[in-house]
Amino acid sequence: MNDYIKKISNKPDFEQENYFKGYYLSRGNLGIEVDYIDMVSGHQFFQKETKSIHIYYIIEGRGIACIDENRFEIEQGDTIEIPVGTEFAFKGKMKMIEIMNPPFEPSTHIDTRKIGDEFDAKFR
């Protein structure tokens, strides 16, 4: 394309099969990362970032956000802010925009624990 207008790829840029597909919209050119996430069923792991904040905007769908052991029902139109060092995970079928500041860096991402059956029991 060009430096100003970006298009979503036909093929995911990153994914966890049966969980979510991600598409890069902006890869840090302006000091942030913006992604389009097609959440098929939710995260596979609880996670933390040691450097980046996350902001999510739910475009479509609904689900559950578990943030620092608190359960929140989320739906279209909601904005979720995840501070640095906060454990979180999502479950549900949603389409969302994710903003990270600074951009994603694998060395600062931590999968803290796998989500199992206890996810639903713990957060009912």
- Reported as a single tens digit per residue, the pLDDT across 20-72 is 999 999 988 889 999 999 999 988 899 999 999 999 999 999 999 999 989 99
The partner residues of 94 in beta bridges, in order of sequence, read: 39, 61
The answer to whether position 73 is within a domain reads yes
The answer to whether position 81 is within a domain reads yes
Domain total for the chain?
1
User: CATH number, domain at 80?
Assistant: 2.60.120.10
Kindly report whether the global pTM for this prediction surpasses the value 0.85: yes
Structural domain for 39, as ranges: 14-117
The answer to whether position 122 is within a domain reads no
Q: CA-CA distance, 95 to 106, in Å (whole number)?
A: 23
CA distances, 50 to each of 36, 86, 94, 120, 122 (Å): 22, 9, 25, 26, 25
